[in-house]
Amino acid sequence: MRIQIKDIYTIQPDLSIKKCDIYISGGYILGVNSKPDGFMASKIINGHNKLLMPGLVNAHTHTYMNVFRNCADDLPFAEWLFDRIDPMEAKLTPEDGYWGAMLACMEMLSTGTTCFLDMHMFRNQIAQAVYDSGIRAVLSRGLVGEGQNEGGKMRLCDAFEEMARWRECSRLSFMLGPHAVYTCDEEYLNVVAESAKNCGVGIHVHLSESVDEVENCRKKYGVSPVKLLERSGCFDGRTVAAHCVNLSEEDMEILKAHNVSVASCPKSNAKLGNGAADIPALLDKGINVCIGTDSAASNNSLNMFSEMNAMAMYHKCLRRDPTAVSADTVYRMATINGADALGVKAGMVSPGMLADLVILDLDRPQLHPLGDMTAALSYSVNGSEVETVLVNGDVVYHKGEFANIDSERVYYEVDKIAGRIR
């Protein structure tokens, strides 16, 4: 479909705001205020009093865990994970994973996220949800194992099979997901790193999330989790490391040297009492920082506008410095930085970029008077302003309706699952 979006305020790559006409075809932006030769629109969208922005990129989540929302709250991290989440997770079926992911896709699309990086445990089910919903994703099968044990081998086989099955879907790509240094021993990390190198995909891993993780790694291996992953080869290609709350100066230098992207999850880390990543220090090092929500089990929300607000606010408070992390910086983290981390050609409204776009209705009380637009996105917007979402040039959400999702069926299935596992 050839789409023209007319007379719409648009965030430019330099973060200025201009009224433009946008021309879309074949899943890409063909022109911004410059009509391509011979372009004839099959659909015209009126952009009056609306804002066009690139879709948000959720750089770390677990979509199947949406069935755990609001059922394991106000608990210490170890108790939350091992005593509450793990027992419920053990009751899930692959079909449960699909419906949890469909609910997550609904939540993300309706609040302006067009692409996400997932760590999951159900071969093909999350991919099917991505395919069915119309969203874009980079998927990583969560890998847990010791040495050459059968469980670890089986999970790697799951990952390879999934990659092969979905290679023709343009909205899907893949990484390998060694869960963490406390669920993968060094030998298994070596195996995963070598496998990633051989099949040309990146690594998605939880890293230095809690104090206990760091201390236990030092006791077992004599080094920090960052150094362990480095010597295992997990940083040799594209790597997205989630959390990175407890890093030393040496750790940061290692991440920078290997071009590791950090997916910070401020609300999840705060809610579980793990602390906050030192984002100003990471930025000062020149490390690519992006934003993730983590799962609805630890955050309760996959709303990236809420996460942007938390990212901007927390570090001002922690540093007692209102300039610590600016709204402009947060906007880049949630768009172009996230797209760069995932290897997706998105994150800017520019010719040649994927047409993963969000239209916001500016005629809302919280946006009057408007003032600075990128400030409004971090401090005023709450996600309810999202009117239309395009992924790959297709309208997948418009005014509360999903083009490809039966929302009532999703709610029914998820509520049934929650009643069984809780």
Q: Tens digit of pLDDT per residue, the chain (422 long)? A: 899 999 999 999 999 999 999 999 999 999 999 999 999 999 999 999 999 999 999 999 999 999 999 988 998 888 988 898 999 999 999 999 999 999 999 999 999 999 999 999 999 999 999 999 999 999 999 999 998 888 999 999 999 999 999 999 999 999 999 999 999 999 999 999 999 999 999 999 999 999 999 999 999 999 999 999 999 999 999 999 999 999 999 999 999 999 999 999 999 999 999 999 999 999 999 999 999 999 999 999 999 999 999 999 999 999 999 999 999 999 999 999 999 999 999 999 999 999 999 999 999 999 999 889 999 999 999 999 999 999 999 999 999 999 999 999 999 999 999 999 98
CA gap 34, 37 in Å, rounded: 9
Whether omega for the bond prior to residue 178 falls within 30 degrees of 0, making it cis, is no
Cα distances (Å, whole numbers) of residue 280 to 128, 155, 193, 319 = 38, 36, 29, 9
Domain ranges for the chain, please list them. 3-54+347-402, 56-342
Query: Model pTM?
Result: 0.97
CA gap 345, 342 in Å, rounded: 9
Rg for the chain, CA atoms, rounded: 21
Residue 330 tokens, joined: 């947060």
CATH topology classification for 3-54+347-402? Urease, subunit C; domain 1 (2.30.40)
Helix or strand (DSSP H, E) at 414: helix 407-421
Asked if 76 and 34 count as a contact pair (C-beta separation under 8 A), the reply is no
For residue 46, the model assigns a pLDDT of 97
Q: Which amino acid is at 403?
A: A
CA gap 286, 252 in Å, rounded: 10
Asked if 290 and 311 count as a contact pair (C-beta separation under 8 A), the reply is no
CATH topology classification for 56-342? TIM Barrel (3.20.20)
CA gap 210, 214 in Å, rounded: 7
For residue 80, the model assigns a pLDDT of 87
3-state secondary structure of 286: coil
DSSP assignment of 77-138: HHIIIIIIIHHHHTT--HHHHHHHHHHHHHHHHHTTEEEEEEEESSTTHHHHHHHHH--EEE
Residue 18 tokens, joined: 């201009």
CA gap 159, 46 in Å, rounded: 43
For residue 149, the model assigns a pLDDT of 87
**Residue whose structure tokens are 């005014």:** 399
For residue 26, the model assigns a pLDDT of 96
